[in-house]
A and B are shown apart, each in its own frame.
Chain A
């Protein structure tokens, strides 16, 4: 079946603009994760959804970042008033059940460049 997909694959924006990044998880997967991978750094956990709920938002770097998930499926990560330090690859992953026993399946990522 289809894997995790993300759109757009690349996004170039000007500082101060808002951007929306989309993630389509594998059908039937209840858990969804957002990560950020900055140049030369490891993956940084941002947020985790179980169904439509986000029990853990502690990874969001600032109040400019928000995420939602609707219908237990598609998720959108929104960054308001983008800054140059937001430039990174944003990765989405999904897993069947969530939690610690489950393998995460990753999408190809969205490369965000803030000029």
Chain B
């Protein structure tokens, strides 16, 4: 069974700092990997989706990379802002199932 791990579980940084969130998965036979953010009391918002044939995706200040062979993905956030504070989840798809990590809780301090 696919297992997805996210490190660190929580992260606190001052505003303006660049940061990296990590995601690892045990089975490299994935179709895609997706990064989401979850705000308290709300559902998930998709940030970036990387197909298995791709190495990275960029959207604004966000950049996600995928190394399928090593079972790793990183989410890079540039010039962090207080509005970036949320829980970030990664999910991998294998077949019709999606496996989520437990998330990294990010706090950006003004």
Contact = CB atoms under 8 A, between A and B. Distances in A.
Contact of A101 (B4, B43, B51): B51
The secondary structure that dominates the A interface is loop
A101 to B, nearest CB: 7
Contacts of B64: none
Interface in A87-115: 91, 93, 98-101, 103-109
Interface in B2-24: 4
Contacts of B100: 35, 42-45
B4 A108 contact: no
B76 interface: no
Interface size class of B (residues with CB under 8 A): 20 to 34
Interface of A: 4, 33, 35, 40-45, 48, 55-56, 58-59, 91, 93, 98-101, 103-109
A64 to B, nearest CB: 21
Interface in B75-110: 89, 91, 93, 95-103
A105 B43 CA distance: 9
A56 B97 contact: yes
Given A48-B96, A56-B96, A42 B101 contact: yes
A48 B44 CA distance: 17
B34 interface: yes
A108 B41 contact: yes
B31 to A, nearest CB: 3
A68 B85 CA distance: 36
Contacts of B103: 42
A99 B41 contact: no
